Amino acid sequence: MPLSLLFLFICDCVGTHIVNGLENGLARKPPMGWMPFERFRCVTDCSRFPKDCISERLMRRTANLLVSEGYAAAGYRYLIIDDCWMEASRDKATHELLPSEDRFPSGMRDLGNYIHNKGLLFGIYHDLGEKTCMFHGPGAARHFNLDAQTFANWGVDYVKMDGCFASEIELDRGYPEFGRALNKTGRPMVYSCSWPFYKAQPDFKLIAKHCNLWRFADDIQDSVASVTNIMKQYSKSQIELTTHAGPGRWNDPDMLVLGNYHLSYDASRLQLAIWAVIAAPLIMTNDLESVRPEIKELLLNRDIISVNQDPLGQPGHKVLTSQNIQVWIRPVTPVSNFGKNSFAIAFVNLGGFAVCPLCPQIYQVQLHRLGLNSRRGYNVMDLFNRSHNLGLYTPKDTFNTRINPEGVTFYKFTVFPSN
């Protein structure tokens, strides 16, 4: 079947919500991988910062580490170059985009081959407007078909399309048009759009028709304040955001900053748990050579990854706030013979309580208040420690948890009986 036929806007019924969406067959589960921006920014001076500059050396080093450290096997397969990879101008004769000659001397096709030979997938950054966000190279304006074809020639599998230096009208016209240009190449490429980020009032229904992922919040920074701010932006629009997301189309709250300088161990757990609940892409930004062992263990936690990748494909949301405690829930598999699903539930302690702002807090709740109403109950497992099985709870039972400050506890409530 030609790819253009796969690109139909069809009804896809996921659980109880119905959405129209982009169907290019890709991103059936939230993509996982690595992207340099939050950690490596736009370092271009390779003579002074050889290990940190945006270069084929960094990408190859990361490709090797994704495989050798077990990240690829856990699912982190998209290796995505962010901004600052281009020369300042296009090729004078062909108008094609040019990678920096100093930093990508072997060229992008060669880098793509290297990445593919490692069993990984190759992503690249572009911008819909006149220039990229860091003013670093030409944007796609007036060159949509050429640039899409260039990416296809290089073996690109994922395009992060930013929206700097484009008007709102150009964004609304340009994102669908560039998506069609990608489709026309015949090469399947995940299409990640920053579209809503640049709109005063994003039309998520429209965006979900044209993109596999979309950035809806601020650029993430390496701090718990930034993580909780993005959580706030999500919960503010969560009805809309959850309605339009599902297999093939996901809300993107930006990269996982675990493994850098500023997140505590508890805050690292918090980001990972919430990104799993909301079915976010798990795109790390860190130096894989220096991720501390306990953080690496979090990033490779297969129980949490499988919540993120759950086949029901239903993103979760915040269901309850009690002072500075929040409860976030995602419906997941398995589903019982009676059609009741299981749940992943994150209990968040934002800190800031009057008496002791940075103490652990005890929280208790009767499960039916959270919508857990399967009468035969749920078997409860601690997702951060699978050997910690808490046994069976029925809807009338009270569940107790003690949550570290600026941290989370995270459990899977598996409906009983289920296979």
- Which residues are the active-site residues? 162, 219
Does position 211 bind ligand GLA by CB under 6 A?
A: no
Q: How far apart are CA 276 and CA 270, in angstroms?
A: 10
Residue 37 makes contact with ligand GLA by CB under 6 A = yes
> For ligand GLA, which is the closer residue by CB, 125 or 158?
125
Q: Cα(391)–Cα(105) distance, rounded to whole angstroms?
A: 57
CB of 191 to ligand GLA, least distance (A): 15
The full DSSP string for 347-416 is EEE----SS-TTS-EEEEEEGGGGT---TT-EEEEETT-TT-EEEEE-TTSEEEEEE-TTEEEEEEEEES
Residue 404 found at the interface with ligand GLA (CB under 6 A): no
Cis peptide before 417 (omega within 30 of 0): yes
Task: Compute CA 69 distance to the chain's CA centroid, rounded to the nearest angstrom.
Answer: 20
> Interface with ligand GLA by CB under 6 A: which range of 94-102, 125-133, 294-302, 315-323?
125-133
Residue 133 or 348 having the CB closest to ligand GLA: 133
Residue from 194, 212, 349, 374 binding ligand GLA (CB under 6 A): 194
The smaller minimum CB distance to ligand GLA, of residues 129 and 315, is found at 129
Closest distance to ligand GLA from the beta carbon of 218 (Å): 8
Shortest Cβ 133–ligand GLA spacing (Å)? 3
Half-sphere exposure of 281 (CA within 13 A, CB side): 34
* Sequence-distant (≥ 6) Cβ neighbours of residue 326 within 8 angstroms: 231, 235, 318, 320, 347, 348, 350
Q: Which segment (127-135, 165-173, 226-234, 300-308) binds ligand GLA by CB under 6 A?
A: 127-135
* Count of CB atoms situated within 10 Å of the CB of 64: 14
At 199, list the tokens: 């709109």
Contact between 222 and ligand GLA (CB under 6 A)? no
116: left (phi over 0), alpha (psi -120 to 50) or beta: alpha
Q: What is the DSSP string of 192-227?
A: EE-GGGG-SS--HHHHHHH-SEEE-SPPP-SSHHHH
Minimal distance, residue 412 CB to ligand GLA, in Å = 31
Q: Ramachandran region of residue 107, left (φ > 0), alpha (ψ -120 to 50) or beta? A: left
Q: How far is the CB of 326 from ligand GLA (least distance, A)?
A: 25
What is the x/- site pattern for ligand GLA, positions 150-189, by CB under 6 A? Answer: ------------x---------------------------
With CB under 6 A as the contact rule, which of the stretches 129-137, 178-186, 231-239, 403-411 interacts with ligand GLA? 129-137
Q: Is the peptide bond before 293 cis (omega within 30 degrees of 0)?
A: no
Nearest distance in Å: CB 277, ligand GLA: 22
Identity of the residue, 23 or 83, whose beta carbon is nearer to ligand GLA in the bound complex: 83
Measured from the CB atom, is 37 or 413 closer to ligand GLA? 37
293 phi, psi to nearest 5 deg:
-55, -40
Check binding of 133 to ligand GLA (CB under 6 A). yes
Tell me: does residue 130 bind ligand GLA (CB under 6 A): no
Which residues are near ligand GLA by CB under 6 A? Answer: 37, 82-83, 125, 132-134, 162, 194, 219
